[in-house]
Chains A and B, each alone.
Chain A
Amino acid sequence: MFEAALIGAPNCGKTTLFNALTGSSQKVGNYSGVTVERKTGTATTPAGHRLALIDLPGTHSLRARSLDEEVTRDVVLGRQPDEPRPDLLIAVADATNLRGALRLVSELKTVGLPVLLVLNMIDIARHRGIEIDIAGLSTALGLPVVAANSVRPGGTDALWAQLDALLAAGLPAPTASSWTQPGAADLRAALARADALIAAHVRLPEKPATLTTRIDSVLLHPIVGPVALLLLLFVMFQAVFAGAAPLMQLIADGFDALAGGIAAILPPGLIRSFLIDGAINGVGSVLVFLPQILILFLFILLLEDFGYMARAAFLMDRIMGSAGLHGRAFIPLLSSFACAIPGIMAARVIDNRRDRITTILIAPLMTCSARIPVYTLIISAFIPDRRTAFGIGLQGLVMFGLYLAGIIGAFATALASRLLFRRGEVQAPLMLDLPDYKLPRLRGIAIGLWQRARMFLRRAGTTIFLAMVVIWVLASFPLPPEGATGPAIDYSFAARLGHLIEPVMAPIGFTWEICVALIPGMAAREVAVAGLGTVYAVAGGGELTGQIATALSQHWSLATALAFLAWYVFAPQCISTLAVIRRETGSARMMWIAVTYLFALAYGAAFVTYHAAVLLGAG
């Protein structure tokens, strides 16, 4: 099977083209040894040739500066371990802006592989009045050039025909690469060649594209721009909380019905307790958050596709810069509101290593969606549902405060590290492409959402389920002795463990039950909800998920509840995040630094919150 690699700048529509070519045959994994996303797929050409396609990470140049770009370079040069060198490079260019792509092509021509140039988004270019002499460009470049439109049916016909023609003629065998790091003079010459090609073969319209500039004059306006960004974030979080509610209710009802059904069939006993308290309530109380996670990812994917993420980085650059961060850190940090794992991985767009590490270390402070279950539970149990001034709900206000606490914590940490460890260092420059706005492609969004949903479901089915089983065993065994009077859990391993760490946690108002729930909560934050449910449901004799909040409000003081929330803003209770930090920084030391500083912050915040609340009479 032939292998073709798609290579091109970010935002050139490479992934949309990849989706159009491979359809549903995609596989997402990682390159061996690094966490760079490896997207592959297969396709059959009209003439019946089987083709393996790989979507290389976006790059402007083979002169790689980030981890993603290094992978692209190494695959192309055949240096990537466990990755065969592709047989053909499909260079993808944004037809509305050929300059950078033509410069990249002049680098690709030296690597010893056949190159096919695709002028993608040709429809947009034509609509703008850009005319490209494709045959002339092909002759001048000495390689096949085709136009494509990856969103219309038939838009990739020319590309398929060209692939068949190339395969029928037989691809030339790869030769040794003569690529070397280009110097400033080489780059100038390559850009001059690109400009000459454009002058000879591309007719640009009299007036340059104005729609993007017009939208930007609003969205990047010094006053309107930041207001629009805030408004957008507000709408996003409203949609996450209000919009997901009916779906969440549906899922919760489904699991309750399932538990009810099992309770009706099985007699009371260990098996029924395991199925209902351990498996169904445990996994159900986590799965219920799938709608919220999907809505959040939907927004992030839409904004990315639309081209707004780079604008957000532009607007936030000075604010990020004041904490010693790069404007680009905004994107990973915003993604971290969905989940710190993709957020930390997105930090690869930051090419300065120390900026990247700072961003990675503070990403877990962004309130990820796994905290939502914990926050929602505690808030609904302890914060009265009433309106404050201007009709703003008190519960929503507390939620907003928790998000804000995380953000402030992150910025303070970044600033502190800049002042303490990075004094005198020159800040890395912000240089960012502001791509033209594009209408998001529903198909690409759907594929992205599906991939994320699958990731979450797999986690719920494996890690979270296992953690639930472990906590159920811990909370159920050993069985209480004959004639015992107290609740069964008081005799379990969980109780012993809880009592063991309770002295450490007592100063921040945590009971041993909380300590028990925190242990499996290390696997994933949201497991703590199910953990609390199991601990209290087992103690109270088998209640359903809906009653956890009621149980908590009976057992905890308000001060404890607030301290628990404060703890959750900072605590690194997610082994997967820690594992990703270790992998992405390539250093176990960085991971331990993260663990230590986050636990210290969590303990400190909970301590202050608890004692302040007790002083105010909420003990």
Chain B
Amino acid sequence: MTIEPHLPNPVGLALGASRKGFRGRLTRLCPSTPDHAQDWDELERRLIELGFVEGARIEVLHEGPIGRDPIAVRVEGATVALRRRIAMAIWAEQVSNERHNR
């Protein structure tokens, strides 16, 4: 799978393409690969249950040892591990450190 690091998109960056240290605010959940679309309703609900909703503060804390995959993401108070191809469905806008902590 190839990941374009900075897709030009009005809703920001796909979390799946973000590197360790990325901090942002979730803007939108939307399918960006065919396998997301295949069962989008279920995937979207699971992401919400893990805390990924619009407006949530997210931060990429860790990257896996092989191919920097999966990633560990802090979402509000919780930490969640995701494969990058799933995280491609999570879109976020980057925020600076001061704004993130507010």
Contact = CB atoms under 8 A, between A and B. Distances in A.
B82 A430 contact: yes
Given A99-B51, A426-B38, A319 B66 contact: yes
A222 B76 contact: no
A184 B45 contact: yes
B80 A434 contact: yes
A191 B51 contact: yes
A100 interface: yes
Contacts of B72: 216, 220, 314, 434
A225 B65 contact: yes
Given A223-B65, A430-B70, A187 B83 contact: no
B11 interface: no
A221 B63 CA distance: 8
Nearest to B65: A222
B11 to A, nearest CB: 16
Contacts of A222: 63-65, 68
Contact of B49 (A61, A226, A430): A61
B46 A191 contact: no
Most B C-beta atoms less than 10 A away, residue of A310, A317, A436? A317
B83 A429 contact: yes
A103 interface: yes
A58 B77 CA distance: 19
A100 B44 CA distance: 16
Given A184-B41, A206-B101, A317-B70, A431 B80 contact: yes
A97 B78 contact: yes
Given A317-B83, A429-B43, A434-B72, A99 B65 contact: no
B18 to A, nearest CB: 16
Given A222-B65, A318-B70, A431 B86 contact: yes
A318 B69 contact: yes
A61 B46 CA distance: 10
B65 A100 contact: no
A597 to B, nearest CB: 29
B62 A63 contact: no
B79 A434 contact: yes
Nearest to A191: B53
Contact of B51 (A100, A184, A436): A100
Interface in A113-153: none
A317 B69 contact: yes
Most A C-beta atoms less than 10 A away, residue of B49, B80, B85? B49
Q: How large is the interface on A (under 10, 10 to 19, 20 to 34, 35 or more residues)?
A: 35 or more
A432 B67 contact: no
B41 to A, nearest CB: 7
Interface residues of B, number: 37
A434 B48 CA distance: 16
Interface in A148-184: 182-184
Contact of B65 (A183, A204, A226, A436): A226
Given A314-B72, A430-B83, A103 B49 contact: yes
Most A C-beta atoms less than 10 A away, residue of B45, B47, B69? B45
Interface string B73-94: 0101111111101100000000
B80 A212 contact: no
A314 B49 contact: no
A192 interface: yes
B4 interface: no
A196 B84 CA distance: 30
A433 interface: yes
B95 interface: no
A119 to B, nearest CB: 13
Nearest to B38: A426
Nearest to B46: A431
A313 interface: yes
Contacts of B61: 213, 216
A98 interface: yes
B98 interface: no
B81 A434 contact: yes
Given A184-B41, A191-B51, A220-B62, A318 B67 contact: yes
A480 to B, nearest CB: 63
Contacts of B3: none
B69 A433 contact: no
B74 to A, nearest CB: 8
A222 B77 CA distance: 24
Contacts of A429: 43, 46, 82-83, 85-86
B81 A430 contact: yes
Interface string B10-33: 000000000000000000000000
Given A187-B45, A188-B48, A191-B53, A317 B86 contact: no
A216 B78 contact: no
B81 A314 contact: yes
Contact of A318 (B35, B65, B76): B65
B50 interface: yes
A418 to B, nearest CB: 15
Given A191-B48, A206-B101, A315 B64 contact: yes
Given A317-B64, A429-B43, 16 more contacts: A99-B76, A184-B44, A191-B51, A213-B61, A213-B74, A217-B62, A220-B62, A221-B62, A314-B62, A314-B64, A317-B83, A318-B66, A318-B69, A429-B85, A431-B86, A434-B80
In order of increasing CB-CB distance, the 7 nearest A-B pairs are: A318-B66, A432-B81, A434-B79, A220-B62, A97-B77, A187-B48, A429-B86
19 contacts: A96-B77, A98-B77, A99-B51, A182-B45, A184-B48, A208-B77, A212-B79, A222-B64, A310-B81, A314-B64, A314-B72, A314-B81, A317-B81, A429-B83, A430-B86, A431-B47, A431-B82, A432-B82, A434-B80
